[in-house]
């Protein structure tokens, strides 16, 4: 049965990151120091989390969030420069085949200690018993920020700064590792916010009275959702574990109409009630920068070569149809923004005053370089871009205000992730899944008798298991790519969304 596609997808890692020495990065044109003034327009409501008071039950705090207030300091509202910085750095890392700069050392299942955790990166200091240390790191070590930059750094690190993975002595830190970019907070007036007191205030769903994660399980090794298939195990409880190895890639969220998405959660039967007739979801209001409002911020740059400055402008304005996402609620359509460069100024030789650059000429130059890119010629900053990554970014971050596509998480409960099931229903769900798994494995003459036995998964076997009808009926979320392929997202859309700068 067809279903909505998941609200996020992955930009795959390449074989190796693109690294250069600092000296090499510095060689791409005359260095510039100055300022870019940027306007940020909210294409959908934008929310940066501030206070989130919990609902009270009989005078005690419950588990449900009452409302989510917008971030503020000293009574002033901001979109922090660090949030904008994170958006741009993440995009550049993906588009230019860079390191994955923000990682959690380990993901593990907190409650059920028999579940298998996995390593995100190799660590010498962690000895947690919940981690299967025989599993390889979920992210190739080549893409993690190293403790030394002797072999070079990626482009995003050159622009935004290098922080070694291990503490260094003061005299070991190279001045050239400092960030070349500072982004000011984007301050705005409170009148531009929606009111949580109004009925039409933007809202997001969450699981009612649950600590469980709304979007399903957190990344872990017992799933082929976040990771590529590796093997099948059977634990001491008789449960089958589909062990993954290696993240599918960098996660980005699709754009969509928040009202359509929230209405789907509010009106779809499988999201309404559990087996006891209790409501699965509740909806709490978000204080948002209203859709259509525009605010501005300054991006200060220091000692950036001209070609890399052009790349930075491209990251802010990445073509006709690509738009960025920022803040909270991205899975429900919130946080879609459009950056527009208002002005680029830089210092001329021997002058302290800033000289304004012709932004139209910069855009035209970028356009000309992309014409060469389409002919597979690497010129200017284009040589640093990964075509496959750009196509996948374009597919995910494609913005179409009239699109009727709805992206939702798999159902919570039978037929999706079992995160909200009570103990009895979870046991019954697991029993049905186990029966389906055994049926699928028996039909392929695969025997997994005990916890010590591991069945390696070759590509052909993965394909058969992942598309087994009986198994998918009970565990449709077994395999991320198969789940997305079997969704109602039109195949034509994938072709239409290939990268095109014009």
pLDDT at residue 244 in the model:
82
Structural domain total, the chain? 1
Query: How many Å apart are CA 254 and CA 366, to the nearest integer?
Result: 25
Could you tell me which residues are beta bridge partners of residue 417?
A: 412
Three-class DSSP labels, 396-456? HHECCCCCCCCCCCCCECCCCECCCCCHHHHHHHHHHHHHHHHHHHHHCCCCCCCCCCEEE
* Cβ neighbours around 174 below 10 Å, total: 11
Indicate whether 380 belongs to any domain.
yes
Q: How many CB atoms lie within 10 A of CB 40?
A: 24
DSSP string, 123-169: -SS---TTB-TTSPPSS-GGGSPPS--TT-B-HHHHHH----SS---
Instruction: Answer whether residue 247 is part of any domain.
Output: no
In-domain check, residue 102: yes
Establish if 136 belongs to a structural domain.
Answer: no
Quote the pLDDT of residue 418: 59
In a domain? residue 1: no
What pLDDT score does 348 carry?
Answer: 75
Q: pLDDT of 346-377, one tens digit each?
A: 987 656 678 888 999 999 999 988 887 766 66
Which residues does residue 354 pair with via DSSP β-bridges, in sequence order? Answer: 347
Q: Write the DSSP symbol of residue 457.
A: -
243 lies in some domain:
no
User: Using CB atoms within 10 A of its CB, is residue 61 exposed (0-12), middle (13-18) or buried (19+)?
Assistant: exposed
All residue ranges of the chain with pLDDT < 50 are: 104-134
Domain that holds residue 278: 8-130+141-210+253-409+492-496
CB atoms within 10 A of CB 335: 27
Per DSSP, the three-state class of 61 is strand
Q: How many helices (H) and strands (E) does the chain have?
A: 12, 20
Q: How far apart, in Å, are the Cα atoms of 469 and each of 223, 376, 436, 473, 489?
A: 18, 42, 9, 6, 20
Own/partner pairs, 142-149, CB within 8 angstroms, 24+ separation: 142/16, 142/17, 143/13, 143/17, 143/99, 143/100, 144/99, 144/100, 144/103, 145/99, 145/101, 149/22, 149/174, 149/177
Burial of 488 (0-12, 13-18, 19+ CB in 10 A): exposed
What is the C-alpha separation between 157 and 179, in angstroms, rounded? 8
- Is 436 a member of any domain? no
**Alpha-carbon span 98 to 142, nearest angstrom:** 10
Residue-by-residue DSSP string for 225-252: SSEEEEEEEE-TTS-EEEEEEEE--EEE
> What confidence score (pLDDT) does residue 109 get?
38
Collect all residues with Cβ–Cβ distance below 8 Å to 424 and sequence separation of at least 6.
none
What is the C-alpha separation between 430 and 475, in angstroms, rounded? 10
Q: Read off the pTM.
A: 0.88
CB proximity list for 377: less than 8 A, separation 6 or greater:
none
On whether residue 164 sits in a domain, the answer given is yes
> How crowded is residue 320: how many other Cβ atoms within 10 Å of its Cβ?
10
Query: Contact 248/480 with Cβ under 8 angstroms?
Result: yes
């Amino acid at each position: 049965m067809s279903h909505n596609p998941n609200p996020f997808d992955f930009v795959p890692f390449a074989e190796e990151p693109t690294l250069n020495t600092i000296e090499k990065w510095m060689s791409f044109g005359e260095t510039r120091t100055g300022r870019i003034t940027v306007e940020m327009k909210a294409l959908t409501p934008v929310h940066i989390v501030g206070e989130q008071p919990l609902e009270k039950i009989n005078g005690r705090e419950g588990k449900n969030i009452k409302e989510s207030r917008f971030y503020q300091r000293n009574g002033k509202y901001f979109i922090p420069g660090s949030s904008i910085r994170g958006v741009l750095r993440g995009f550049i890392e993906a588009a230019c085949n860079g390191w994955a700069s923000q990682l959690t050392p380990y993901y593990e299942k907190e409650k059920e200690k028999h579940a298998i955790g996995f390593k995100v990166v190799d660590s010498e200091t962690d000895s947690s018993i919940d981690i299967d240390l025989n599993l390889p790191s979920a992210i190739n070590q080549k893409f993690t920020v190293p403790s030394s930059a002797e072999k070079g750094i990626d482009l995003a690190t050159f622009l935004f700064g290098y922080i070694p993975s291990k503490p260094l002595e003061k005299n070991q830190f190279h001045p050239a590792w400092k960030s070349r970019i500072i982004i000011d907070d984007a301050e705005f007036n409170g009148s531009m916010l929606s009111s949580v007191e109004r009925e039409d205030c933007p809202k997001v769903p969450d699981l009612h009275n649950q600590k469980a994660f709304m979007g399903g399980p957190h990344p872990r090794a017992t799933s082929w959702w976040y990771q590529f298939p590796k093997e099948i195990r059977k634990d001491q409880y008789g449960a089958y574990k589909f062990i993954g190895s290696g993240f599918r890639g960098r996660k980005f969220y699709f754009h969509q109409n928040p009202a359509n998405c929230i209405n789907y959660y509010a009106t779809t039967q499988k999201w309404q009630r559990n087996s006891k007739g209790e409501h699965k979801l509740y909806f709490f209001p978000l204080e948002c920068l209203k859709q259509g409002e525009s605010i501005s911020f300054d991006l200060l740059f220091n000692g950036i070569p001209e070609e890399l400055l052009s790349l930075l402008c491209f990251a802010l304005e990445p073509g006709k149809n690509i738009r960025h996402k920022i803040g909270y609620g991205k899975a429900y359509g919130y946080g879609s923004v459009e950056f527009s460069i208002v002005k680029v100024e830089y210092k001329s030789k021997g002058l302290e005053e800033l000289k304004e650059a012709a932004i139209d000429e910069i855009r035209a130059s970028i356009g000309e370089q992309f014409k060469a890119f389409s002919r597979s010629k690497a010129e200017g900053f284009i040589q640093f871009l990964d075509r496959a990554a750009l196509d996948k970014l374009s597919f995910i971050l494609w913005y179409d205000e009239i699109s009727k596509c709805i992206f939702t998480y798999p159902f919570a409960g039978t037929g999706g992730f079992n995160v909200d099931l009570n103990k009895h229903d979870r046991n019954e769900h697991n029993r049905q899944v186990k029966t389906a798994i055994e049926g699928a494995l028996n039909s392929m003459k695969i025997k997994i008798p005990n916890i010590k036995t591991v069945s390696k998964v070759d590509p052909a076997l993965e394909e058969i298991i992942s598309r087994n009808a009986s198994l998918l009926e009970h565990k449709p979320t077994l395999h991320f790519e198969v789940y997305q392929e079997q969704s109602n997202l039109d195949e034509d859309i994938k072709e239409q969304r290939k990268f095109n700068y014009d």
